[in-house]
């Protein structure tokens, strides 16, 4: 079947850390040549839209920043729509903070309405302790994404989901999860494509986030065995992706 639009994961699908995955640039070039629209749908909340796009451009991808849709952007859109002007304490990068601030959130370290947590590679015990105190005092808890791990040049590293579990365990408060596999990020990305779900396919390497996003929300899925979940691990799942390949070079866009 020919799909009219693509939702494409980044980490483990386009690149691992600072290394482009074989066939990824050619895959995007083929989509561009065929004038098939796509959106990069990523749970990575560490960068702004422009920063996330620049990483791809610097790696040699011919893309436009508007094609990037991150869990940080989805979190910002959620708060803007449901809690405009909310005060937020951020555990995460400056990219996450600036994305939330641009959506009208008021950043604060004291008595916030929300504690929003994204991957923070400079995470410290004090940051976790302060977040736990704020949540225990009544702040609502948001996790930008549930990823337990992500691939890098050095192998798998702890993801936001693993670190969020520390606060959840400490406070006995389960966070509102925004990113994949939740429907909120999928609906926003499909809307950006301007297509109905039956004409779209989601491409990713992580069964628990990418593939479940499609399976749970009515979008076809293509699992690429270049990142988190291996072919053997996918095969053990009760629900299977519509398609599975080892390399993007195996997939025809037309």
Residue 9 is a catalytic residue:
yes
Residue 11 is a catalytic residue:
yes
Q: Of 9, 120, 147, 205, which one is the catalytic site residue?
A: 9
Residue 190 CB contacts under 8 Å (≥ 6 apart), including other chains: 7, 196, 197, 200, 219
**Torsion over CA: 111, 115, 121, 123 (sign):** positive
Largest CA distance in the chain: 54
3-state secondary structure 139-191: CEEEECCCCCEEEECCEEEECHHHHHHHHHHHHCCCCEECCCCCHHHHHHHHH
Contact yes or no for 103/80 (Cβ under 8 A): yes
Active-site annotation, residues: 9, 11
């Amino acid at each position: 079947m020919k799909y009219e639009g693509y939702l494409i994961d980044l980490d483990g699908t386009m690149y691992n850390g600072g290394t482009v995955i074989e066939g990824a640039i050619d895959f995007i070039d083929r989509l561009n040549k065929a004038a098939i629209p796509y959106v990069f749908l990523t749970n990575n909340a560490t960068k702004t839209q422009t920063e996330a796009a620049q990483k791809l451009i610097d790696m040699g991808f011919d893309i436009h920043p508007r094609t990037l849709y991150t869990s940080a952007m989805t979190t910002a859109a959620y708060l803007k729509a449901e809690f405009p002007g909310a005060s937020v304490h951020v555990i995460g990068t400056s990219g996450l903070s600036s994305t939330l601030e641009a959506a009208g959130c008021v950043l604060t370290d004291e008595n916030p309405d929300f504690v929003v947590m994204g991957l923070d590679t400079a995470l410290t015990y004090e940051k976790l302790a302060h977040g736990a105190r704020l949540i225990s005092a009544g702040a609502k808890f948001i996790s930008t994404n549930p990823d337990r791990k992500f691939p890098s040049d050095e192998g798998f590293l702890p993801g936001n989901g693993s670190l969020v579990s520390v606060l959840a365990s400490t406070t006995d408060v389960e966070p509102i999860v925004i990113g994949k596999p939740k429907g909120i990020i999928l609906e926003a990305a499909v809307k950006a494509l301007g297509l109905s779900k039956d004409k779209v396919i989601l491409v990713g390497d992580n069964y628990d986030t990418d593939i479940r996003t499609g399976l749970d929300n009515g979008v076809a899925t293509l699992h690429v065995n270049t990142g988190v979940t291996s072919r053997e691990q996918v095969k053990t799942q009760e629900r299977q992706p519509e398609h599975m390949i080892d390399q993007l070079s195996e997939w025809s866009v037309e």
